[in-house]
Structure 1
């Protein structure tokens, strides 16, 4: 941040550099920290503070995460109530900026505390050198094995795709013990995408949302169950989460018991996945896919399961199923009903 404004002396605010802060000051600080104890709010605050215009439109902030507009407004209201933000309505949009009296505090939070906290967390989570050498060796062997299997493709290309697949998954992985089999699955799919002649064979649908942890996973699973092999569906995300959302995972588990193992792990969106798809469907989350000639694009404004009640999640599932049935009528005449 470059914008700073002088603030009152710390002693005048009940904050001392030589002894414990006062009860009143501690209460005020704790209230502010509680309001900031949400990842999306911190990202919003950072986006506003670093916007070269000196302010951000709510339409820009809504693109930070796969959440509904009311949720965005709620988080901004909480930040504004702390006194950190000021806002102005211009036409149909509201613009937010850092309150002058809070700019120094926000700068300290984002420029000093946040980087230090992230560095500490990264140090704790980073695998040991020995573990990384073992993973690298296993990825090398996997690359060689798939290069032998996909002999029609250039060997270096196959190995590169395997390593890129591993790198794409490891960015959001919480644990590493499943990374090798997931890398193999992801790399095999990417190789299949690379060699698929779109428009031939079984139609393929790609569902895309930001985190690939909720509605896109659910939609792909329902297509694969209803179509019974007559249509294949997959999902991907522009910024994959570490894992599928718990409220969706239970629904996917029920579907997988009926149809067999699914693809329920968040994975990055690739251009090859879009090129290989006959239909690409974004899930009302503002995600943008590469525009490939001949690919059919749709956007489904579907609720976010992560923000819904248990009843709401069921309603979202029913909404997705209805949309899937309509989609399948344009691709195949063989949908079947999900067992109750």
Structure 2
């Protein structure tokens, strides 16, 4: 009889369950997700998160849908039971705010997961063809990136050649992670690298003030805010935008707004960009919009946080209200810079 204990096992299935979420934790998380799995509750959570006051009155939340006051109270109680909300009674009304320590979790749901769930990423039926085409394109990309670095180094003679080449490669690496279409990667890499090299050489004590808007995906609010600043400032202030986890493209609803503000050419040229330390260092003001504490703290840079709704998730009326809200904030910001 053959002893099989010492024989090698070929192509055996040996899944590791050691690192799977624990049973008790899974029950807790599933309960929270179940509580959030209601359209009105998600809208309430979004309204509270983006309220400029940092909290919302139950009377405001009741206007989100044509339901009775007891129904509104029930939904808010469910959200509160998940630990997402805290509340205070003041007089006859109850005020709700995001619970301490839960801001990042709510931001991840509303600013990162929700837009992706809405837009999706529709490729081929099984994704195989898209993956093969992308892999083939990326194999040819290294040589093109090298040539781009050499060309920019020849052009920008005032900067270290090694620095220019390194920035080009870093810029490409930052964009390729989220790039949906590889054919645009080289021109986008060139634009991004040129901006980063400009940032590295900028002296904040001279020149026009610069504002950096940062959100999670750089596909909505931050793009819109930067466009509005550049429209209203007439060159007296320069605005840019970036994302802590850039999306593959600017959201279609926001792109239509950018077309109205900037014109079709500039709107088409807009693309999500990753946040870099040099962009923060070059800014006079950094405005975060729902991305949490992702920006490095640089001495001399002013920081603001704007609680603004996400146009990618809003209704047509909500998009108009968000644009108006951003424009009001921009007017206030410009008065402090000009």
How has the CA–CA distance of structure 1 residues 71 and 131 changed in structure 2, closer, same or farther, with 3 Å as cutoff? same
Aligned to 2:230, which of 212, 216, 224? Answer: 224
Q: Distance in 2 between matches of 1:301 and 1:95?
A: 17
Bigger Cα displacement from structure 2, 214-223 vs 137-146? 137-146
CA contact (8 A) 1:203 1:278 kept: yes
How has the CA–CA distance of structure 1 residues 68 and 171 changed in structure 2, closer, same or farther, with 3 Å as cutoff? farther
Q: Distance in 2 between matches of 1:295 and 1:327?
A: 14
CA contact (8 A) 1:206 1:233 kept: yes
Q: Deviations over 1:231-272 (max 9, x none)?
A: 1000000100011111111000111229x6256210000000
How has the CA–CA distance of structure 1 residues 162 and 315 changed in structure 2, closer, same or farther, with 3 Å as cutoff? same
CA contact (8 A) 1:216 1:236 kept: yes
CA contact (8 A) 1:56 1:95 kept: no
Is 1:249 aligned to residue 224 of structure 2?
Answer: no
Q: Distance in 2 between matches of 1:56 and 1:228?
A: 50
Q: Distance in 1 between matches of 2:163 and 2:169?
A: 10
TM norm structure 2:
0.64
Is 1:204 aligned to residue 210 of structure 2?
Answer: yes
Q: What SS is found at the alignment partner of 1:236?
A: strand
List runs of 5+ in structure 1 lacking aligned partners. Answer: 6-47, 74-86, 97-119, 333-340
User: RMSD of the TM alignment (CA)?
Assistant: 3.4
TM norm structure 1:
0.64
Q: CA deviation at 1:68?
A: 7.5
Is 1:275 aligned to residue 281 of structure 2?
Answer: yes
Q: What SS is found at the alignment partner of 2:188?
A: helix
CA contact (8 A) 1:143 1:158 kept: yes
Q: How many residues align?
A: 244
How has the CA–CA distance of structure 1 residues 146 and 122 changed in structure 2, closer, same or farther, with 3 Å as cutoff? farther
How has the CA–CA distance of structure 1 residues 314 and 123 changed in structure 2, closer, same or farther, with 3 Å as cutoff? same
Q: Distance in 2 between matches of 1:94 and 1:188?
A: 40
Q: Distance in 1 between matches of 2:292 and 2:241?
A: 16
Residue in structure 2 matched with residue 311 of structure 1 by the alignment:
317
4+ runs deviating over 3 angstroms: 1-5, 54-58, 87-96, 120-124, 126-130
